[in-house]
């Protein structure tokens, strides 16, 4: 299940995610690494497990790039969070918004 800050109470369909990715939306998968190994990686997403997300979103941009091989999003950049069932993606959205991400 996917959760977008633009619509915090609305889940996204797979097709909506594909359309957003064409617009260079950063897709953060907050599943655990073992889940990625077991169920597969979503193409063009970066994996930041939910337990690491708060720290990751507060990193120095250089450190974020080294750790995740991705440019750190600014607080106004569009970001989509995903997980297996939707609960963690909604928590991730709450964390990001509490840090000032819009």
Catalytic residue list: 83
User: How far does Cα 76 stand from its chain's mean position?
Assistant: 14
- Which whole-number Å values give the CA distances from 73 to 16, 46, 84, 101, in the listed order? 20, 12, 23, 9
């Amino acid at each position: 299940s996917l959760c977008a800050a633009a619509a915090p109470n609305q889940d996204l369909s797979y097709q909506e995610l594909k359309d957003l990715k064409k617009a260079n939306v950063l897709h953060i998968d907050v599943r655990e690494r073992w889940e990625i190994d077991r169920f597969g990686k979503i193409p063009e997403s970066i994996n930041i497990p939910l337990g690491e997300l708060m720290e990751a979103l507060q990193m120095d941009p250089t450190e974020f790039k080294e750790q995740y091989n991705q440019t750190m999003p600014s607080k106004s950049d569009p970001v989509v969070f995903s997980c297996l069932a939707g609960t963690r993606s909604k928590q991730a959205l709450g964390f990001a918004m509490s840090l000032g991400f819009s």
